[in-house]
Amino acid sequence: MSGSTTLEIKRNRLQPRNGKRESKGLWGDVFKRLIRSKSALTGLILVAVFLLVALCAPLIAPYDPITDSDLVKRLEAPSSEHIMGRDSQGRDIFSRIIYGARISVQIGVISVSFSLVLGVALGAIAGFYGKWLDGLIMRLMDILLAFPSVLLAIAITAVLGPELRNAMIAIGVVYTPHFARIVRSTVLSVKTTEYIEAARAIGCSDLRIILRHVLPNCMAPIIVQTTLSIGTAILDAAALSFLGLGAQPPTPEWGAMLSDGRSYIQRAPHVMIFPGMAIMFVVLGFNLLGDGLRDALDPRLKR
């Protein structure tokens, strides 16, 4: 066999069939479609910067957000020493916003994780077993959905007490029905498929079928809903803190900072502008990322 023939055979082996590039897997295709979208890439960058700031807060913040205060220089305008100015207690606003990112991460992760676990469990049970159990769980979810989310969170926090931990519990309860309904609808469409019947035929338990065969098919909508919920959870927590039902002073939480600065909106508008911008950009980032993930995970967009 000549050298040119051998080289041609090797080239044919390396080239994909039908002239198409081989797939890099589901998540590789998802990431490739995600970064192609400018809005999704913008959201990914905003979320990445937000998480980086939260993790490196002690390294980035120039001052302590609670103890470093100077009442003589309270409400001082932005300057080279304090790029975002001082608040009503003479504390550095830039440092408080950076540490507030940590609190927002805590709020988003804990409250959404609570609603994720509870909602997935209730939705899977309702969709898989059906009948009266399905009706009972879904009617309870409908009752929770009948109330405006912020109003329901205010009511739960008022009962439990004005505290950041109780605010996270309230937000977790508010978002539980969203996860439950998404999982239930997916389970109803999956549980009648042939591979579920095959798993039943070989003697798999209901728990194994739900965990190994049913829930993996719910991952795409769950991931999208989780991403969107983190942004709205941060926004709702800021609203509760603004009303005095969430984080309490002197905790550097963005909603509490807005509440503290509302009395000085005309005299020192920077006290409210910078925390408000932080909330806006974080929620915008999670919303853009969630929309991008929804498009990237949609199998109808895969070519």
- Tell me the pLDDT of the chain (303 aa) as tens digits: 444 454 444 444 445 445 444 445 666 777 777 778 788 889 999 999 999 999 999 999 999 998 888 888 888 999 888 899 999 889 999 999 999 999 988 998 999 999 999 999 999 999 888 888 889 999 999 999 998 888 899 999 989 988 889 999 999 999 999 999 999 988 888 877 787 778 778 877 878 888 888 888 788 888 889 999 999 999 999 999 998 888 888 889 999 999 888 888 888 999 999 999 999 999 999 999 988 888 777 655 544
CA distance 61 to 221: 37
Determine contact, residues 229/115, Cβ cutoff 8 Å. yes
pTM for the complete prediction? 0.83
| CATH architecture assigned to 43-62+94-301 | Orthogonal Bundle (1.10)
